[in-house]
Amino acid sequence: MREITHFIDGAAVTGTSGRFGDIFNPNTGEVQARVALATTGELDAAVASALRAHQTWALVNPQRRARVMFDFKRLVEANMNELAEMLSSEHGKVIADSKGDIQRGLEVIEFACGIPHALKGEYTEGAGPGIDVYSMRQPLGVCAGITPFNFPAMIPMWMFGIAIAVGNTFILKPSEKDPSVPVRLGELMMEAGAPKGVLNVVHGDKVSVDAILDHPDIKAVSFVGSSDIAHYVYSRGTAAGKRVQAMGGAKNHGIVMPDADIDQAVKDISGAAFGSAGERCMALPVVVPVGARTAEIFREKMLAEIETLKVGVSTDASAQYGPVVTAAHRQKISDYIQMGQDEGAELVVDGRGFALQGYEKGFFIGPTLFDHVKTEMRTYQEEIFGPVLQIARVESFEEAVALPSAHQYGNGVAIFTRNGRAAREFASQVQVGMVGINVPIPVPVAYHSFGGWKRSAFGDTNQHGMEGVRFYTKVKTITARWPDGATEDSAFVIPTMK
């Protein structure tokens, strides 16, 4: 059986732990490969490689580092089809969605290509008599990223693109469910001209995660995953003196105002709720129609839209979405659907009985719709992470603002309306980190930053954009004086500008 190896010091490294994780083909349910799970020794080897590489990589001028990012971008684009097919075969998302996953990561690489500008410091001439003050941003050293299964290309590139461009070296611990694309990205980074050790890929489970969080030579850790694990990563990493950004779960809401273009809102919410089988932290699994009439119209139109959805294998170009990543995850989603029914929500469409002819052992689940969902229900409070859309009805704009604001998660939210004032007030008042106005998945462009509030994010710095540059660098400020040769008396009090 094919074995997926670590990528350390510019080369494939066979695991020595004797422990492996199964890699499934979600379309067929079959095990197609296995991935070696690292020992702490293999993590130590990756850190040692990254430390050696950092000694020279940090001294490479920003423009030359940017050229490596340009070449990396070119290579990823040249290998787009190979990467997308590899991604879909392990994750299950359709090929077009896999290409979108890769492209959104490349947009951060494009931002990293402009890193010389982003690293410019501040300068003040004549801050005092003959004194100039200036600042510079310098890399931290060895950094690490722990990434989830749902975006095996995009999220790693969000992290290592900026980290490497500013002069750090990087250790990536991708999800053990779909690890092939991250390894291929490591190979392409070397092909683009990065020295060996600049980007290492180490596979693993909690053993590897804890080793990363505890290692004294790793200066910063970026994480994306569930909120409970995000909190654990943040707590353990910061206790070890590291800089940590840890992005957690979500329960994003879509507010539908009575004046909204309902037909467009239905199309948008359908794609946001069911696309990628709902396995997105920026999916939109809760729709909040304002007023009974809005709710009834939305429900009727969404039912008609669901009838048109096609679930298929990841290579089917006509399919809207494919299987979920594992049988265990499919069972978890099915359990939540049963829970919602037991809690008293109206199960309008049940996707549990879906089966695809010829692929009966695949990890498929059909689109599911609940109505009359209440805030006290666990299925509302918790992240399902599957193709399940819940309708939670409210009667007023004020209730629509309060619902996502009171939720434990605060990742994303959207409002659908033609009223500019309502949209402006909503964006100002709602207690959520990312807001869409007639945009169902409000993931910011690469030169802005990504980050939620409350239990959706731990740490003070968001992903990518200038926030990413700040996270992966430290500021050094220099106060310089060039005396004219005359001797001055020593000063025994703190200097001031008085």
Catalytic residue IDs:
281
Token pair, residue 136, equals 């510079």
Contact 411, 417 (CB under 8 A): no
Half-sphere exposure of 308 (CA within 13 A, CB side): 9
Token pair, residue 55, equals 């000694």
Judged on CB neighbours under 10 Å (0-12, 13-18, 19+), 316 is middle
Give the strand order in the sheet containing 346-349.
346-349, 368-371, 388-391, 286-289, 253-256, 412-416, 434-437
Collect contacts of 80-83 with beta carbons under 8 A, ≥24 apart.
Answer: 82/184, 83/153, 83/181, 83/184
User: Left, alpha or beta for 385 (phi > 0: left; psi -120 to 50: alpha)?
Assistant: left
Give, for 84, the enclosing helix (H) or strand (E).
helix 80-91
Compute the distance between CA of residue 230 and CA of residue 225 in angstroms, rounded to an integer: 6
Compute the distance between CA of residue 413 and CA of residue 336 in angstroms, rounded to an integer: 22
Compute the distance between CA of residue 400 and CA of residue 255 in angstroms, rounded to an integer: 7
